[in-house]
Structure 1
Amino acid sequence: MFSETVYGNSSMNEFAHIFTDSFQRYDGIVGYAVSKEDQKWQNTTDIDAFMQANKTLDRVTFKPDDFGKDKEIIDIETLPGYNHFTREGIWFGSAWKMWFGHKFFSYIPKEKLLTFTDGYSNLELSNGAISITLYDNIWAYNRPLNREIQWKFRKQVGIDEVAHKTRYNYIKRG
């Protein structure tokens, strides 16, 4: 996660290049780079936190809280940048830049990831891993077109269906 106040003047592409090299060297499973602020608000269920931060609730959907009677929370699954994690810590989501390694392909096939062409770039790396950049500028996450690209990625590659199935161990892993 990157904070614009810390990294705003830095070359995010330079950081991404360094991460790409490390991801390949250490045979990474999955990785992602996202704005710290976007990560926070795309995964926050607390309505009061949104209101205290003067965040708009206009496009937010609510659902009953499973743990609090008569309480509502934000349904983060209606936001394009929310995360899923398996019990093993495998990330499923959509972010500015993402890396997928060989072990991830047992969840979502490599060919399916490579067919996503609506983003900024989709590259097969020298070791056979994949690097996908959804939009050019990490700090432009809230632009409507970038949010649309995040949704397209989630739907086209089946991120949410696979993530939900992994909770119940329906995925056959090689």
Structure 2
Amino acid sequence: MALGGNLAGNFTSSEALLEAALARFPQAGLPVLARSRWWRSAAWPDANGNEYRNGIAIVETNAPPEAVLEALFAIERSFGRIRGAPNAPRTLDLDLIAYGRRLNDGPGLILPHPRAHERLFVMGPLAEIAPDWRHPAIGRTAAELAREASVGRDATPV
């Protein structure tokens, strides 16, 4: 799971909001096995916006991926996320990056996430906790993909 956002909402910081969201995962049937540090990166596409904070959590579940995605959306909504324009500032963005080795290209759910491998703010945190994880479609490790990422090259751990 990828977690991110650049608006603190009712929290003192984006990190505090992300911690609170992560604390809800077990209640949603998504116990956290490992998690990364929070990473920072410049706002995009408008670099004048608030910096983003991102991280990765590895969870364990027997729920089907569609149910996991719905649980993530429910957590987002509980933190005030309103899905609007793509790439707009947001309090909370939760993404299902991969579900085991499963490949899916159906409506509403693409696995693995179609752009995660290009993003340092996703692959960097993933490489931090699971450097040998292999992308199910590309076959490259998280560490390799972090080195090769072309988006969010300014991302660094907080």
TM-score, shorter chain, exceeding 0.5 = no
Structure with greater helix percent: 1
Please give the TM-score of this superposition, normalised by the length of structure 2.
0.29
Using CA pairs below 8 Å that are at least 6 residues apart, which structure has the higher relative contact order?
Answer: 2
Please give the TM-score of this superposition, normalised by the length of structure 1.
0.27
Greater Cα radius of gyration, structure 1 or 2? 1
Structure with greater strand percent: 2
